[in-house]
Chains A and B, each alone.
Chain A
Amino acid sequence: MSSKYETVIGLEIHAELKTATKIFCSCPNEFGGEPNTNVCPICLGLPGVMPVFNKKVLEFAVKAGLALDCEIAPFSKFDRKNYYYPDLPKNYQVSQYDLPICKGGSVEVEIDGEIRKIGITRVHMEEDAGKLIHGGATISSSQYSLVDLNRTGVPLIEIVSEPDMRSAEEARAYMEKVKAILEYLEVSDVKMEQGSLRCDANISLRLVGTEKLGTKAEIKNMNSFRSLQRAIEYEVERQTEILDEGGRIIQETRTWDEEKGETFSMRNKEEAHDYRYLPEPDLVPIIVDPQWVQALKDALPELPDARRERLIGKMGLSAYDAGIITGNRALAEYFDHVTARFNEPKTVANWLMGELLRLINAAGMEINENKISPEQFAALLQAQTEGKLSGKMAKTVFEEMFATGKDPAEIIKEKGLAQISDEGALGGIIEKIIAANPRSVEDFKAGKDKAIGFLVGQIMKETKGQANPGLVNKLLLEKLNG
């Protein structure tokens, strides 16, 4: 890998805001549905209609801007971005051009233990377009294309970063951080696979040590975090080869092909499109009350970075564990609820990461869909700590709780899984096993320590695994040693 070039990456992220209704009409803001059923004259762009701005969109956009550390513009407006495409019924998109709602923020990402600050140029609001489904594999091989306008008018925010990223890993980390922040704010579902989170990357190379930006290529159609990383890596290689051979990079839009693992030029797209922006004459400018903004700022939830700090600093989790737990707001809050009732953060973290996430991922469900309440979880861990349940039994009970949602106490009782910690009861069983296995006892006394394992095994078998292993070991040794 040639290291004489520095990679310069900027990302444009689009997130669908999960308001109840669309940005300019009262159609429900819902994913899916039969084509062209979630529409009305306004989002269809019928002759004579007019937009009415959904104020919730402004609230969500401002929250996002605040969480991304941006300045909120006291005065901003909507503009029309004019271009023709069949998924855009009015043949213009209502967006924001020169006076966006948010400007000048940043986000921190951690790469190999180092914290890097990635700048955010702006955040603005705009409406989404519909979807096209082509009859064939490509546009040119199709006899027809179908237009589904359900998605027109869905509110979007576009987050434009400064060209501050220097590697595919960094770009991915930035994208993941932005996703986590938006998820925490509950302003978007941020699911790349559903299209509620999308991104385009602008990539250029320049000689290390130079300031001037190289010619950039815009990459589209990366539908997962992995695609993003792979596409950037491919593009860096492609551009490196060209430059090494003395060629020039063409400024163009390229599409990522997931199957082939390459980017291809979208040559039929007009470059440097003139959108002939004009201020949207059917909407009034947006004037934001600073007190309202301050109230939103005060009410922001604890964001991923702050949470991570708290889990590491105050709760003693490792950076890695804290990272996993705070990667998802629902998981982070679940963790907080459990530790509020059972104050051993490391134990809780291990159980969440080891057991709960395993079962949740296998079932393909969300954290909040799982049947175990934080109270029940805490009760389970409590029972284990108090010796009422062995570690192995605790896992069994946990799986039962996950399947049925019953209290641990109930399950323990039903299945008779209580750990035997009664010395008297155990003592009797141990003597019985010792009596039944004279050979092993001989082996042990002769110095073969492994024989004790066999005896422990027999005791556990006799007690159906419910004997408290620590106590078994202790009592067994006592009895064997005299």
Chain B
Amino acid sequence: MSLTGLSAHELGGLLDKRELSSRELTAAHLERIQTIDDQIKAYMTVTGELALRQADETDKKWARGEQLSPLAGIPMALKDNMCTRGVKTTCSSKMLENFIPPYDATVTEKMFSAGAVLLGKCNMDEFAMGSSTENSGYFTTRNPHDLAAVPGGSSGGSAAAVAAGEAVFTLGSDTGGSIRLPAAFCGVVGLKPTYGSVSRYGLIAYASSLDQIGPMTRDMTDCALVLNAIAGHDPKDSTSAPAEAKDYTKYLVNDVKGMKIGLPKEYFSTGMDPQISALLQQAVKKLEELGAICEEVSLPHTMYALPAYYIIAPAEASSNLARYDGVQYGLRVKGEDIVSMYCETRSQGFGEEVKRRIMLGTYALSSGYYDAYYLKALKIRTLVKQDFDNVFAKYDCLLTPTSPTVAFNRGEKADDPLTMYLSDVCTIPVNLAGIPALSLPFGQVGARPVGLQLIGKAFAEGTLLRVGYTLEQNTNLTKPIPVIKGGSQQ
């Protein structure tokens, strides 16, 4: 039996019964990485020694008869923008090539408390800016289902690792779709929780009012288990919601009878791949068969969400990335004076997309332009949120495609930033409103997976888990597509 490609809850069962040790499981994953990561390139850093040590620790606890959490001994990976003490954290940028944080992010601490095993740090678009992982300062990750395709971004490495069996689950971060888009492109489950549910302390910031960390898993049950481990109030994060901790596995119920599901017409545009459209119709039909009521709804300000995002996020980023200046940590390029040191360091340390967004953001915040751009974008944000509030008064959740297309070819959109930005058209409004959304695999077009997005109101992750779980239990289209050996599907 192959130990890679199973879900955490399946493995947890085996570990609990001691039919398997964490060391065996971890070693199997390290071997998998060794075998295929040259082709997939999901990992920036592999922490083999640490992983085995952690696995051994967990095995010892089991030997002592201790009760352990559902994720104990399970090998996972973290997107490389989450700080790990003593382990290089680069945000896939030359700027942080040798940055070793002296502290752990809160989610890192939580993963370790749960007994999870760290296999390594995953590749991403530089500083989380991108939709294809082609903006990584180092190399581009390949889509395990089709090596010519991009894995999506910015959590491309995290998604590919799960799809290729190089990790049982990973954590990604989502600012405009960066968990959901790669999850869709790689055929895995990805959840962006409600803003404030998961601590951002230790997440290297891109856009502070939009960033959230979330699970990337093989199925809905794992998603609930990981969410249990990472959600919760954190006093170190002042934007952390005071909500009580929940057990999300309670929502894994196979029943959607009487639920009202909205289909926002603005998301089913003509630019959508007709095969994706067909798959979504299948999903709708299945839900109706199971007793849900699906109706068309409207979110009228949807078309303004993308431009508003591409002002707000870069504006916040221009401030968040100001600290990368060569003075204290990270890359330093010497200059004859402080200004030239700043300029050389930032010119060489940052890639093109990062520079582009810093410039956009700086411009939008400049005196004379602030009102016309940033302030206006904030007002649009309020309108986008109000659209959602209005529909959630009557509907339990919304269903949309995660992306109008499947994964595109590497290089296809890399030279056209605006076209690249359009990949996020279905995912961005969710971040502006701070609400939760999940992408679950639903079939494929050719070799390339399709993702179906479920959107809920604030703190309604449970609803999304329920609908997702129901679909998972009632159709094969949500099953993870096996990725064998060299990474391409057989």
Q: Do A and B bind each other?
A: yes
The one of B82, B200, B374 in contact with A278, judged by C-beta atoms closer than 8 angstroms, is B374
Contacts of A149 in B (CB 8 A): 328
Binds B, one of A82-90, A458-466, A468-476: A82-90
Q: Which of A24-83 contact B (CB under 8 A)?
A: 41, 44-53, 80, 82
Q: In the complex, how many residue pairs between chain A and chain B have their CB atoms under 8 Å apart?
A: 97
Contacts of A82 in B (CB 8 A): 318-319, 322, 365
Contacts of B342 in A (CB 8 A): 84
Whether, in the assembled complex, B237 has its beta carbon less than 8 Å from a beta carbon of chain A, the answer is yes
Establish whether residues B322 and A281, one from each chain, have CB atoms under 8 Å apart when the complex forms: no
Contacts A47-B323, A147-B327, A278-B319; A41 near B239 (Cβ below 8 A): no
Whether, in the assembled complex, A92 has its beta carbon less than 8 Å from a beta carbon of chain B, the answer is yes
Contacts of B205 in A (CB 8 A): 47-48, 282
Establish whether residues B327 and A41, one from each chain, have CB atoms under 8 Å apart when the complex forms: no
Contacts of B239 in A (CB 8 A): 50, 281-284
Max count, chain A CB within 10 A of own CB: residue among B89, B103, B105, B374: B103
Whether, in the assembled complex, A91 has its beta carbon less than 8 Å from a beta carbon of chain B, the answer is yes
The one of A49, A86, A147 in contact with B201, judged by C-beta atoms closer than 8 angstroms, is A49
Contacts of A281 in B (CB 8 A): 208-209, 239, 316
Whether, in the assembled complex, A271 has its beta carbon less than 8 Å from a beta carbon of chain B, the answer is no
Max count, chain B CB within 10 A of own CB: residue among A48, A149, A284: A48
A276 to B371, CA, bound (A): 11
CB of B171 to closest CB in A, whole Å: 14
How many B residues touch A, CB cutoff 8 Å?
Answer: 42
A136 to B156, CA, bound (A): 49
CB of A120 to closest CB in B, whole Å: 26
Establish whether residues B238 and A284, one from each chain, have CB atoms under 8 Å apart when the complex forms: yes
Establish whether residues A47 and B374, one from each chain, have CB atoms under 8 Å apart when the complex forms: no
Contacts of B365 in A (CB 8 A): 82, 276-278
Question: Which chain B residue has the least Cβ–Cβ distance from A47?
Answer: B204
Whether, in the assembled complex, B99 has its beta carbon less than 8 Å from a beta carbon of chain A, the answer is yes
A149 to B318, CA, bound (A): 23
Whether, in the assembled complex, B203 has its beta carbon less than 8 Å from a beta carbon of chain A, the answer is yes
Whether, in the assembled complex, A386 has its beta carbon less than 8 Å from a beta carbon of chain B, the answer is no
Annotate A260-289 by CB proximity to B: 1 below 8 A, 0 otherwise.
000000000000001011100111100000
Contacts A47-B99, A82-B319; A52 near B235 (Cβ below 8 A): yes
Contacts A53-B238, A276-B366; A48 near B323 (Cβ below 8 A): no
Contacts of B271 in A (CB 8 A): none
Establish whether residues B200 and A91, one from each chain, have CB atoms under 8 Å apart when the complex forms: no
Whether, in the assembled complex, B367 has its beta carbon less than 8 Å from a beta carbon of chain A, the answer is yes
Name the interface size band of chain A: 20 to 34
Whether, in the assembled complex, B101 has its beta carbon less than 8 Å from a beta carbon of chain A, the answer is yes
A86 to B339, CA, bound (A): 10
Establish whether residues B201 and A48, one from each chain, have CB atoms under 8 Å apart when the complex forms: yes
Annotate B21-57 by CB proximity to A: 1 below 8 A, 0 otherwise.
0000000000000000000000000000000000000
A84 to B338, CA, bound (A): 10
Establish whether residues A282 and B208, one from each chain, have CB atoms under 8 Å apart when the complex forms: yes
A274 to B318, CA, bound (A): 14
Q: Which of A436-480 contact B (CB under 8 A)?
A: none
Whether, in the assembled complex, B202 has its beta carbon less than 8 Å from a beta carbon of chain A, the answer is yes
CB of A387 to closest CB in B, whole Å: 67
Annotate B357-371 by CB proximity to A: 1 below 8 A, 0 otherwise.
000001001110010
Question: Which chain B residue has the least Cβ–Cβ distance from A282?
Answer: B208
The one of A52, A53, A278 in contact with B315, judged by C-beta atoms closer than 8 angstroms, is A278
Q: Is chain A's interface secondary structure helix, strand, loop, or mixed overall?
A: loop
Contacts A46-B102, A47-B99, A51-B238; A91 near B323 (Cβ below 8 A): yes
Contacts of B327 in A (CB 8 A): 86, 89, 147
The one of A48, A278, A284 in contact with B316, judged by C-beta atoms closer than 8 angstroms, is A278
The one of B83, B325, B374 in contact with A48, judged by C-beta atoms closer than 8 angstroms, is B83
Establish whether residues A276 and B362, one from each chain, have CB atoms under 8 Å apart when the complex forms: yes
Contacts of A277 in B (CB 8 A): 365, 370
Contacts of A49 in B (CB 8 A): 201-202
Contacts A86-B338, A89-B328, A90-B322; A283 near B238 (Cβ below 8 A): yes
Establish whether residues A89 and B323, one from each chain, have CB atoms under 8 Å apart when the complex forms: yes
Q: Which of B327-383 contact A (CB under 8 A)?
A: 327-329, 338, 342, 362, 365-367, 370, 374
CB of B197 to closest CB in A, whole Å: 15
A193 to B200, CA, bound (A): 40
Contacts A48-B83, A276-B365, A281-B316; A84 near B325 (Cβ below 8 A): yes
Contacts A84-B342, A147-B327; A92 near B238 (Cβ below 8 A): no
Question: Which chain A residue has the least Cβ–Cβ distance from B103?
Answer: A41
Contacts of A282 in B (CB 8 A): 205, 208, 238-239
Contacts of A89 in B (CB 8 A): 323, 327-328
Contacts of B374 in A (CB 8 A): 278
Contacts of A45 in B (CB 8 A): 323, 328
Establish whether residues B367 and A274, one from each chain, have CB atoms under 8 Å apart when the complex forms: yes
A378 to B203, CA, bound (A): 63
Question: Which chain B residue has the least Cβ–Cβ distance from A45?
Answer: B323
Establish whether residues B89 and A47, one from each chain, have CB atoms under 8 Å apart when the complex forms: yes
Establish whether residues B204 and A92, one from each chain, have CB atoms under 8 Å apart when the complex forms: no
A84 to B235, CA, bound (A): 29
Question: Which chain A residue has the least Cβ–Cβ distance from B235?
Answer: A52
Question: Which chain B residue has the least Cβ–Cβ distance from A284?
Answer: B238
Establish whether residues A50 and B236, one from each chain, have CB atoms under 8 Å apart when the complex forms: yes
Whether, in the assembled complex, B96 has its beta carbon less than 8 Å from a beta carbon of chain A, the answer is yes
A235 to B326, CA, bound (A): 39
Contacts of A48 in B (CB 8 A): 81-83, 89, 101, 105, 201-205
A50 to B103, CA, bound (A): 13
Contacts of B99 in A (CB 8 A): 47
Annotate A361-399 by CB proximity to B: 1 below 8 A, 0 otherwise.
000000000000000000000000000000000000000
CB of B454 to closest CB in A, whole Å: 27
Question: Which chain B residue has the least Cβ–Cβ distance from A52?
Answer: B238
Contacts A86-B338, A281-B209; A92 near B101 (Cβ below 8 A): no
Establish whether residues B238 and A80, one from each chain, have CB atoms under 8 Å apart when the complex forms: no
Question: Which chain A residue has the least Cβ–Cβ distance from B82?
Answer: A48
A194 to B474, CA, bound (A): 72
CB of A213 to closest CB in B, whole Å: 21
Question: Which chain B residue has the least Cβ–Cβ distance from A276?
Answer: B365
CB of B128 to closest CB in A, whole Å: 12
Establish whether residues B319 and A50, one from each chain, have CB atoms under 8 Å apart when the complex forms: no
Annotate B89-102 by CB proximity to A: 1 below 8 A, 0 otherwise.
10100001001011
CB of A7 to closest CB in B, whole Å: 30
A307 to B327, CA, bound (A): 50
Q: Which of B185-217 contact A (CB under 8 A)?
A: 200-205, 208-209
A116 to B365, CA, bound (A): 41
A41 to B91, CA, bound (A): 18
Contacts of A92 in B (CB 8 A): 319, 322
Contacts of B235 in A (CB 8 A): 52
Contacts of B323 in A (CB 8 A): 45, 47, 89-91
A82 to B342, CA, bound (A): 15
Establish whether residues A276 and B367, one from each chain, have CB atoms under 8 Å apart when the complex forms: yes
CB of B304 to closest CB in A, whole Å: 20
A276 to B363, CA, bound (A): 9
A55 to B70, CA, bound (A): 38
A49 to B320, CA, bound (A): 11
Contacts of B96 in A (CB 8 A): 47
Establish whether residues B200 and A50, one from each chain, have CB atoms under 8 Å apart when the complex forms: yes
Establish whether residues B329 and A46, one from each chain, have CB atoms under 8 Å apart when the complex forms: yes
CB of B39 to closest CB in A, whole Å: 30
Question: Which chain B residue has the least Cβ–Cβ distance from A283?
Answer: B238
CB of A418 to closest CB in B, whole Å: 66
A91 to B319, CA, bound (A): 8
13 contacts between A and B (CB under 8 A): A41-B102, A50-B239, A86-B325, A89-B323, A89-B328, A92-B319, A147-B327, A147-B328, A276-B362, A276-B365, A278-B316, A282-B239, A283-B238
Q: Given A277-B365, A282-B205, A284-B239, 12 more contacts at CB 8 Å?
A: A46-B101, A47-B204, A50-B201, A50-B236, A50-B239, A82-B318, A92-B319, A145-B338, A149-B328, A278-B365, A282-B208, A283-B239
Q: 4 shortest A-B CB distances, which residue pairs?
A: A91-B322, A281-B208, A276-B365, A281-B209
